Amino acid sequence: MNPKIGVIMGSTSDWDTMKAACDVLDELEIAYEKKVVSAHRTPDLMFQYAEGARDLGLKVIIAGAGGAAHLPGMVAAKTTLPVIGVPVQSKALQGLDSLLSIVQMPGGVPVATVAIGKAGATNAGLLAAQMLGAYEPDVAERLEARREKTKQAVLESSDQL
Ligand SMILES: Nc1c(C(=O)O)ncn1[C@@H]1O[C@H](COP(=O)(O)O)[C@@H](O)[C@H]1O
């Protein structure tokens, strides 16, 4: 199956976080590809990736980075595909640096920014799936089923309180 979602990250050290996005895509049976691409360390590859993403058949890009997290914004600058930014928790500033670097985009070049860390990465996977689900009914159905499971788990936990 051709990948529909591109999951990219600035370093392999981001994988522990970004795996949460991939886990959701696996669960929802959505084809994706994952790669390390860095605006700072591999700028030419980053341009090439962003410019070629649509022709590859990708519909959404999830980009995670930590610290001076320029990757999501720079990718968004080079494609009109939706880009979801995941702020990876940094050691020095606990991810506040990553969050602000990703969320404070100038007008005209949006990045849909999720929360810091693994919970944010999980939501990034879900948001990407919901974007696909807007026009792919089978994906929408799997998302509905997941929501139902979450609801049941909350109701059960309440009963056990
Ligand atoms: N923020 C960026 C970018 C980028 O934005 O292009 N490239 C790498 N990095 C980040 O540097 C951190 C430390 O990376 P290393 O662990 O490889 O030193 C990672 O969180 C990565 O996302």
ipTM (interface pTM): 0.99
For the CA of 14, the nearest atom of ligand 1: 20
How far is the centre of ligand 1, averaged over its atoms, from the C-alpha of 69 (Å)?
7
Taking 90 as the threshold, does the pLDDT of residue 34 lie above it?
yes
pLDDT, position 20? 98
How far is the centre of ligand 1, averaged over its atoms, from the C-alpha of 13 (Å)?
8
Residue type for position 152: Q
In this prediction, residues 127-150 reach a mean pLDDT of 98
How far is the centre of ligand 1, averaged over its atoms, from the C-alpha of 95 (Å)?
12
Over its C-alpha atoms, the chain yields an Rg (Å, rounded) of 16
pLDDT, position 147? 97
Binning pLDDT at 50, 70 and 90, where does residue 48 land? very high
How far is the centre of ligand 1, averaged over its atoms, from the C-alpha of 2 (Å)?
27
Which residue is it, tokens 């070049």?
109
pLDDT, position 161? 94
Angle at Cα 130 formed by Cα 124 and Cα 133, nearest 5°?
Answer: 145
pLDDT digits (tens, 9 = 90+) for 70-126: 999 999 999 999 999 999 999 999 999 999 999 999 999 999 999 999 999 999 999
41 is in an annotated binding site: yes
Helices (H), the chain: 15-27, 43-56, 71-77, 96-103, 118-133, 137-159
Average pLDDT for the chain: 98
Domain ranges of the chain: 5-159
Q: Does residue 128 sit in helix, strand or coil?
A: helix
CATH number for the domain running over 5-159: 3.40.50.1970
Binning pLDDT at 50, 70 and 90, where does residue 1 land? confident
In this prediction, residues 121-150 reach a mean pLDDT of 98
Enter the tokens of residue 37: 């691409």
Residue nearest to atom 1 of ligand 1 (CA): 69
147 is in an annotated binding site: no
For the CA of 64, the nearest atom of ligand 1: 22
**Contact call for residues 127 and 114 (beta carbons, < 8 A):** yes
